[in-house]
Amino acid sequence: MKFSPLLFVLLSMFSVSAFANDITKQEFSRMYIERAQLSLEQATFDKVEELTIEIEFKNGLHVKANLANSYARYSSGQATIDEVLKDLIASQIEYQNLGEADAISISHLRPVIKSKSYLENVKGQLIAAGASDIHLPYFEKLTRGY
């Protein structure tokens, strides 16, 4: 099959125009807040960082919504902006309906034994991802060899 330069130019134009419509992270955050306010009427929103929104629900629950995965899903072309925002907001609707009876008690927690290298790996992944404030999961040293 002979390669046509005209075909290459046409395909390139369509590819460039598809990427030209991508929205910025700031715009994505703004669109999320606008749409979330319609569905999460009992919540207030405050932009903390790029792609990080703090949500305070009327029931007293505070949640930090990290939009990075949703933005990546949109910008990679895996889903439209409407699909991504709909899925993200749907996952947060339950928060506004939580009450005191839904609080996690210590009796619901189950210990998991992990090695020191596991915790070091988690810390390394957070650093590599550019996390500015690293909080490892709660852990207790079980042996001297920890």
Q: Which residue has the higher pLDDT, 86 or 126?
A: 86
Per-chain mean pLDDT for the chain: 79
What's the CA gap between 35 and 26, in Å, rounded?
14
Position 131 scores a pLDDT of 78
Of 56, 75, 76, nearest to 64 (Cα)? Answer: 56
Is the per-residue pLDDT at 14 higher than 60?
no
pLDDT, tens digit, 9 for 90 and up, residues 89-124: 998 888 777 777 776 766 777 888 888 888 888 888
Q: Is the pTM of this model over 0.85?
A: no
86 half-sphere exposure, CB direction, 13 A CA radius: 5
What's the CA gap between 23 and 18, in Å, rounded?
11
